[in-house]
Structure 1
Amino acid sequence: MNLLWLALGLLLLPALWLLVLPLRRAAAVHAAQQAYETEQRDEAQNVAVYHRRLASLEAARERGEIDAMRFEESRLDLDRSLLEDTEFRRHAPLKPPRAGRALVPVLMVALVVSSVVWYQREGAEGDLALFAVRQEVISSPDGSLPMLIERFEDQAERQPENPKVWLSLFPLYRDSGQFEKASAALERLISLEGRQVNLLAQLAQMKFLIANRTLTDDVQALVDEVLSRDPRQPTVLSMLGIEAFDHGRYEEAIDYWRRAIAGFNDPGAADALRDGIATAQQRLGIAPEASKAPGGGPSLIVNVSLADHLRSRASQSDTVFVVARDVEGKLPPLAVERATVADLPFEVTLDDSDAMAPMARLSQVDEVNLTVRVSASGEAMPQPGDLAGQAGPVTLADAEGPVAVTINSVVD
C-alpha cells in the first residue's frame, strides 16, 4: 500500500510543478510587458494625425471653402475621435511580479486533497488490499486456507461494500465446506451486484447442499427464477440432475445432465457429468454411452461399520454420511454417499458420480481422506454429539479391496 501512495505522489509532482512554473516566469513576463508599453508610440501618432487634420481644416476655412460653423463641427469630431482613441488604448498599471503568489500554495493543497479524495472514492485501493492479502498468505511459510479466509474476513469488515471481497470469500468458504458462510457471502454479493443469473444459480447450489441435497421451497424458488431467465443454466441443471439421481429418477437425471453439458465451458465439469450419465445408465440396465470408457474413472469401495460401544447412541433412522476429501483439504468434498444407521454395516462405492460439485471429483486427486459420520439432525455440517470414524490417506491407485472405516468416536 505504501508503494501505491508513493506512486500517487510521483504522479502529483508534475502537476504541482506546472502550478509553480508561472511564478518562475512572472518576473520575465512583467519586464517584457513593461518594455512594450514604454516603447509603444500609438498615442503620439494619433496626436500627430489630429494636428495634421486640424491644420487642414484651418487652411480650408482661410480659403473660404468651409464656413465657421462647419469648421467648429469638424473640429469637435476630431477632438471626440482623439479622446476615444486615447481612452481605448489606455493601459491599466502593471501589478508587481510577486502578486498572487499566496494563491499558488492554496491551489497546490487543493489539488493534492482533491486527488486523494477522488482516488479513495473511485480508485481501486480496496482491490489492491485484497491482492496484497492474498500474496502475503501465499508467500508465508504458514500460509493456509484458514489463514486466507481469516484475512479476507478482516477485509470484509473494513470494506463491506466492496463486492470483490465477497466474490473472493465465497469460493474459499465453498471449498472449505463452510456452505452456510458461502451462502451468506453470495447473498451479500447479490445485494451489491444485483440478481445476476450466475450468482443466483450458485446460491441455489449452496442452499441445496446445506439442505442435504434437497429441493426445499427456498431452493426451488431460486431454481425457478434462474430457469425463467436462462433455461440452459448449467449449474442449476447439474444440481437438478443430482437431486433426480439421489431419488432414483435416473432418466430425468440423464436429461438434466445432458442439457447441462451443453452449457459448461469447463471440460472437466462436462466429463464429470458424462460419468454421472454413464452411472445412471448402468443403474437403468442399459449400456453406457460410448463416451464413457469402462473403468475410466477412479472408484473406491468403503466398508462402513459401527463400534459396539456406540450402538446405543445411534437411532436406526439417523443419517450416515460417507465423505471423501482431498488430503490437503482445499477442495469441496470429492464424493458423498448417504445411508442410514439401519443399513449398517454396509459397503458403498465412491466415484465421480458422487461429486458435490463438478470442480471437485475423485479423478482430480491421487489420495483421499475418508470420513464417516452419523448425524441425528441430518445436517451436512458436523454437530457436537455426532458419531464419526476416519481412514486415510488412501491412495486410489493402490486400493484394490474395500477400505474399512469404523465409526468409533464422538464429535466434540
Structure 2
Amino acid sequence: MIDFWLAAGLLLLLALGFLLVPLLRARRTQPEKDRTALNVALYQERLAELNTQHAAGVLTAAQLESGQAEAARELLADTEGGEVVTQTRLGRSIPLAAALLVPVLGLVLYLHYGASDRVELSREFAVPPTSVAQMTTRLEQAVQMQPEAVEGVYILGRTYMAQNRPAQAAELFERAAKLSGRQPEVLGQWAQALYFAAGRQWSEQIQALTDEALLGDPKEATSLGLLGIAAFESKRFDKAIGYWERLLATLPDKDPARAALQGGIERARGQLAADGKSPVSEPAPARTGLKVQVALAPALAAKVQPGDSVFVFARAVSGPPMPLAVKRLTVADLPAQVELADSDAMMPQLKLSNFPEVQLIARISRAGQPTKGEWLARSAPIASDSAAVQHLMIDRPDP
C-alpha cells in the first residue's frame, strides 16, 4: 500500500499547486498594482491642474491640448511593461483555507467511500497462498467484504467442511441457498453440513432439504450420497443400496468415487445377508416412461426470460403430494419433449410405476424453485403407463 499512498500524495500536491500558485503569483504582482494606481492618480491631478490654468486664461487651447498629450505620454511610459492585474475578492485567507481543507476532505471521503481494503486484498490474492490457513483467511476476508457474492460464500462453506467445521459451514450454505435461489446443489451441501454438525443425527430439517434438492434435481449427488449414509448408519441397508445405486448411475465411468461407492453398496449387501435377509437384487431395466411435449403459449413469450427454470413432473392422483418423477429445463429449451420414468424418481419407494394414475405439471419458476413459480400447465389424470405423447401448454398464472 505504500506506493498507493505515495501516488495519492503526489496527486494531492498537484491539486494544491493549482490552488496556491495563482495566490502566490497574485502576491508578487501586488507592488506593480500599487505603482500603477499611483501613476493614474498623478495623471488625473496633472489634468486637473491644466484645466484650471486654461480656465484662468494662463494656457491657450492649443497649450492645454499639448499638455494633456504630454501627461498621457508620461502615464503610458510609466506603466509600460506592467502586468494587467485581475481584481479578486477572495483575498488570501480563502485560498489558504481551501488548500488545507482539500486534502483533509479527500482523505475523509476516501476512508468512507474508498476501497483500500479491497486493494490490499487483491494484492494478497495475487500471491499464491502458502498454507491452507492462509487460503482460508483470504476467503473469509473476501466473504466479509462481499457478503452478497454467492460463489465466495459457497466456496468458504466447502472449505470449512474440508476442515471438519460443519456448524460454520452450515451457516454459510444457508446464506448461499438464499443468495442462489435455493439451488439443489447448495441445498444438498447445507443438509450434509447440518447432518455432521448434529453428530450424524437425522432431522426433519435435513429431510426437507434433501427432498427439496431432489425435487429440483433428481440426480443431485450430495443429497443421494447423504441419504445413503444416513440409511446405512440406521441399518436400513436396502434403502442405502437404493440411494447409492442411483448416485452410481450418475457418475462418469472413470470417476474415482465409483470404487468407494461400489464398496459401500457391497458392504450393505453383506449386512443384509448377515441379517438373514435376501440381498437387494440388481435393479431391473426401467420401463418406458411417459412422453411429455412441453410448449410455451405465444402470449407469454414477452413475460418470461430464456434462463427461467421449467420443471416438468408427474404427481400421483391418489397418493403423496411429492412428485414421482421430475425433469428440469429452461424457457430457452421450449418447445421440448421429455420422458418421465422410474429412473427420475426422487425416492425409490415413490416410483411412477407404483401408481396407476398421475397428473402432469409444467411450471416456470424464475427463482428456480420447483414448488412455486409464475406460470403453469396441468393435465387431466392419465394412466401412468400411457404410451401416447402428452401435451402441456404453459399458459396460465401459477396460483
Q: Structures share a fold, TM > 0.5?
A: no
TM range (shorter): 0.3 to 0.5
Question: Under a length normalisation based on structure 1, what TM-score does the superposition of the two structures give?
Answer: 0.37
Question: Under a length normalisation based on structure 2, what TM-score does the superposition of the two structures give?
Answer: 0.38
